């Protein structure tokens, strides 16, 4: 079973950030959220490992300001 990679996976992290920013530039909040949702699904399928996905969700919830503790 693979573990979630949290060390940098890209030689050029800035390029990754710019690519993701470019994808949402000019989009409304709703459209950006919809894009993110599609992106999450596409990437989740590409990863193809439910355990890694669970770890990623755990990390995302733990690190946010609304850390998900009040969500369900």
Handedness of CA 58, 12, 25, 65 (dihedral sign): positive
| In the complex, minimum distance from the CB of residue 47 to other proteins, in angstroms, rounded to a whole number | 11
Q: Which CB atom, from 2 or from 37, has the smaller least distance to other proteins?
A: 37
What is the rounded CA–CA span in Å between residue 44 and residue 40?
6
Tokens 């969500």 -> residue: 71
What is the rounded CA–CA span in Å between residue 48 and residue 72?
25
Q: Are 59 and 5 in contact (CB under 8 A)?
A: no
Q: Which CB atom, from 45 or from 63, has the smaller least distance to other proteins?
A: 45
Q: Which CB atom, from 15 or from 34, has the smaller least distance to other proteins?
A: 34
Footprint (CB under 8 A) of other proteins, residues 31-70: 33-34, 37-38, 40-42, 45
Task: Give the residues lining the site for other proteins (CB under 8 A).
Answer: 33-34, 37-38, 40-42, 45
């Amino acid at each position: 079973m693979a573990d979630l990679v949290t060390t940098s996976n890209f030689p050029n992290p800035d390029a990754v950030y710019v690519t993701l920013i470019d994808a949402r530039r000019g989009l409304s909040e709703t459209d950006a959220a919809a894009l993110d949702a599609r992106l999450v699904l596409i990437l989740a399928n590409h990863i193809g490992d439910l355990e890694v996905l669970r770890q990623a969700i755990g990390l995302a919830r733990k690190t946010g300001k609304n850390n998900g503790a009040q969500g369900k």
